[in-house]
Chains A and B, each alone.
Chain A
C-alpha cells in the first residue's frame, strides 16, 4: 500500500469516532462517507452525506468529520464537502452496521 493510500485509510479509521447520533453508529460503517482523498501538502478532502437532508445535526457532523480528519498525523487541513448526490439509502451500510440495526431479522 502506498503512503497516500495508507494515509487515506488512517483518515477513514479516524472518522469512525464520528457517530450519527440518532442511529448511534459510526458514519463510516453507515456509508455516509462517500470519498476520502489526501492531496500533497496534507490536505484531506472528504465527501460525505447525511441520512436525511435538512437534519439539524448536519453542521455538527461536517465539523466533526473535519476535526477527526485533522487529528491524523500528516493531515494539515481538512476540506469536507457535503453532497446529496447520490442520496443516502440504508443499503449503503456495511454488514456490521446492518447487523447492529437488526436488518434482515
Chain B
C-alpha cells in the first residue's frame, strides 16, 4: 500500500482543541490564573491543563493520527481507536479541571474528580501511544522525523505517569511517602517532559518533514539532525531517569538533572535551529505560503523562549520568571506553529474530502484556492504581536497589561477560527469550482464521511 487513508476523526480533534484554546484565552482575559494568581495556584492549574492538554495535546494527537502514517508510509494500525481516545481525553480533562476548581474552593460536588481525570487522560493517551507506537513498529526501519515522535511519545508516557501520581496524591487516594515526595518535588519534571519532551520535541520532528514537504526543500538526513535527535532524547532520558533517581533514591534536590537536561535540550535546539534555517534557505519554492511564513515566527518564539529560559536560569530568577517563559513557549512557539500549520492542514484535508474523488474527472481547484491569505494574514500578525506583548507583561508582572494583550490574542484566534470555518465551508472557492454535492459533503467538525477507497 502506497497511499494512506484520511484519519476520520482528525477534524473533531482539531475542533475540540481550538475550543480549548479559545476557552483558555477567555480565562486569561478574565484574569483567571497566571499571572493574576500564583504559578501553583489551583486557578493556574486549570489554565495550564486547559492549554497543555485541551489545546496542545489534543491538537498534537489529532495531527499525529494523520501524519504518523505519512511519516512512515503506513496506515494507522487501529483506525477505530482515535474516537475512543478523544472521548476519554475530553472527559478526563473535564474531570481534572473540575478537580482543580474544587481545590480553588468552587462548589463542584465531592466526587473524586482528580483521580477520575487521571483515569480518563491516562486511558486516552495510552490508546494513542499504543496506536501510534504499533503503527511505527510495523514500518521499521523508520526515518529520523519518526524517531523524534517516538521520543515524544516516551516523554508523554512519563508526563501521564507523573500526572497520575499527582492526581492520586492530591485527590487523597494515597499517602505513600514516595509518591508524596514525587508530588511535592516532581512538578518541574512533569512540566519539562510535557512542554519540552512531548510537545516541543514531537513538533520538531514533524516540522522537519512538513516544512520540507510544503516548501519543496531537500529531505536529506544531516548529521546535525541526528545530533539534535540524540541530544534531545538524552535530555528526555535525564528527566525520566535522573528525576526519580535524585528525588527518591539519592534524596537530593532536583536541580542537577533539570540543569543537565536543559543543557542537552539547548544543544538539541541549537542544531534544530541550524537545520531549519538551512531548510528555509535551500527551499526550491521561493514564494512560500502563509503557513510557512507564520511557522518562521513561531520558530522565532522557540528561540526567544530558549534564550529567556537560559537567562533566568543563570541569573537565579527561574522561580519568579518561569511562568513568563512557559507562556512564551506555549503560545509563541507551540500555539503559533499549531495555528499556522492548521491553516494548511485544514485546507488540505478539506480538499481531499471534497475533491479527491473528482481528480481526473473534472478540473479541480488547488488547495491554495480554499484559503484567503490576505484576509487571514492580519489576524496572524495580531496574534503574534499580542503574544509578544503578553510575554513582556508577564515578565514585568503587569496583570492588567497581560489581560489586555490576552484580549488581542482572543480576538485574533477567533478570527483565525472563522477562517478555518470558511475553509471547511469552501467559502473562498468560486461557484464554478464547487463540487456538485458540496452541501451534502460539508461537515464542519464531524468525522470525514468518505474514506480513501484503499
Contacts and interface: CB of A to CB of B under 8 A. Distances in A.
Nearest to A65: B360
Contacts of A58: 2-4
Contact of B70 (A17, A24, A56): A56
Nearest to B216: A90
A51 B73 CA distance: 13
Main secondary structure of the interface of B (DSSP, over half): loop
Contact of A64 (B6, B285, B349, B360): B360
B135 to A, nearest CB: 11
Contacts of A53: 2, 73
Contacts of A63: 357, 359-360, 453
B72 A54 contact: yes
Interface string B14-40: 000000000000000000000000000
B288 to A, nearest CB: 9
Interface in A3-36: 15, 17-19, 21-24
Given A51-B213, A102-B287, A56 B452 contact: yes
Nearest to B69: A54
B352 interface: yes
Interface residues of A, number: 35
A37 B419 CA distance: 44
A57 B356 contact: yes
Contact of A101 (B284, B352, B362): B284
Contacts of B358: 64
Interface in A35-85: 50-68, 71, 82
Contact of A102 (B3, B286, B352): B286
Contacts of A19: 359, 364, 366
Contacts of B355: 21
B356 to A, nearest CB: 4
A97 B213 CA distance: 16
Contacts of A66: 360
B165 interface: no
Given A63-B359, A82-B2, A21 B287 contact: no
A105 interface: yes
Nearest to B71: A54
Interface in B349-408: 349, 351-352, 355-364, 366-369
A101 to B, nearest CB: 5
B67 to A, nearest CB: 9
Contacts of A18: 359-360
Contacts of B213: 22, 51-52
Contacts of B356: 57, 60
Interface in B249-286: 284-286
B164 interface: no
Nearest to A78: B360
Contacts of B72: 54
Nearest to A59: B3
A68 to B, nearest CB: 4
Interface string B439-454: 0000000000000111
A21 B360 CA distance: 12
Given A56-B352, A58-B2, A67-B361, A101 B453 contact: no
B137 interface: no
A64 B359 contact: yes
Nearest to A25: B366
Contacts of A54: 2-4, 69-74
Nearest to A105: B286
Give the 9 A-B CB pairs with smallest separation, nearest first. A64-B359, A64-B360, A58-B3, A24-B366, A54-B73, A59-B3, A102-B286, A60-B356, A68-B360
Interface of A: 15, 17-19, 21-24, 50-68, 71, 82, 90, 101-105
Interface of B: 2-6, 66, 69-74, 213-214, 216, 219, 284-287, 348-349, 351-352, 355-364, 366-369, 452-454
Given A56-B348, A66-B360, 12 more contacts: A18-B360, A21-B366, A50-B2, A52-B219, A54-B4, A54-B73, A55-B4, A58-B2, A59-B2, A63-B359, A71-B360, A101-B287
